[in-house]
Structure 1
């Protein structure tokens, strides 16, 4: 970690696999709304979890973090485990009066090639995060900073935006919002998305033809 703080009360689970990023890149060509339609609107986070900074579009493999309200020790520790393409999905227990993420953690994310950060809680330093380009979604923005006492959990399933987020599952975001997809559904999803996209394109063409 870049901070010198004991992390004895942060539990880490390492027995999970990440989803194949090459498969996710193909899926990421489609909007979140279309992905949601294809999976019958399951896995879509509550609209309270919205884009607040950086690039709106992202995809990656979930690195889940559970932290106490207004505390970000577990987030610091989680970044030691982060791999390129990971998305930090943080259950901050919906606390909106203390931010658990800001530009300094954003710098670490960029160094570790983290794809995005999704927080059921608050974030701060959004101007700086936007300049960095780090995709950041959160429930709220608040300038009040966090404590660093723990406890926390890393690599175990967490709730975020009313959705259970398992380690290694796929996650996608754009300006419409965020969706979580079980990694077991990923291998066949691109083909299903293409079929649905073709259906919608055909519908648009029929509508436009009536106006010619």
Structure 2
């Protein structure tokens, strides 16, 4: 990734070129795909931990392309700069080192992000003006909240790989979020993953029909019991 920033910038500051964008139609195909399905298809070992959805509506989901920001804990200068660079459909993914002593984004930034068509924010840090975020429209996931505001001194970098609440995110990754959490996927994995989540969704729908039918069919419930016992026997349990 080529740096755009002048070499005269102070240490710790950086502004880097945007990553190549994924196919917009492919990104759109993931809109509404549950994060649990994506996680299952990626080995059940990826995704954020400890982020809280603050947008009020559990049905509001996040889908967009990562514009990453790494900031000094409690400082949002480079987050403001990233917002000026954001394009419609971008997700601002902020590595704030998990610090929740000072908020990195509040209600005014929420309005600015909506005005620019930002798809959402994922903040490994704190936000504030919680009641405004809870109005919905813009998905936001954060580590916590605090009334104390940020400094605007820097340093920080934009469009660099970041760690966000246990989630590794590279610039240009697809970012999905819902009531279960947040996942990020490299663009080169999207075509294969789309097929996998489609197959997984069909499998789960079949299981839903099975469980609904088993309410009135003891034989189906007995089959489920045996499936669980078979798993236990395979692990040496005397059932």
TM over 0.5: yes
- Match 1:145 to one of 143, 146, 149: 149
Alignment of 1:103 onto 2:110: no
What SS is found at the alignment partner of 2:134? helix
TM-score norm. by structure 2 comes to 0.81
- Match 1:201 to one of 199, 205, 225: 205
Match of 2:42 in 1: 39
What's the Cα RMSD here?
Answer: 1.5
Query: In terms of Rg, which structure is larger?
Result: 2
TM-score norm. by structure 1 comes to 0.91
Alpha-carbon distance in structure 2 between the residues aligned to 1:163 and 1:68? 18
**Unaligned ranges ≥5, structure 1:** 1-7
Structure 1 stretches of 4+ with a deviation exceeding 6 A read none
- Match 2:140 to one of 132, 136, 143: 136
- Match 2:52 to one of 50, 53, 58: 50
Q: How does 1:16-95 map to 2 (within 5 A)?
A: 16-46=19-49, 48-53=50-55, 55=57, 56-95=60-99
Equivalent residues, number = 204
CA deviation map 1:106-130 (0-9, x unaligned)? 1211111000000000000121123
Q: Which protein has the bigger strand share? A: 1
What SS is found at the alignment partner of 2:131? helix
Match of 1:5 in 2: none
Shift of 1:131: 2.5
**Unaligned ranges ≥5, structure 2:** 1-8, 217-239
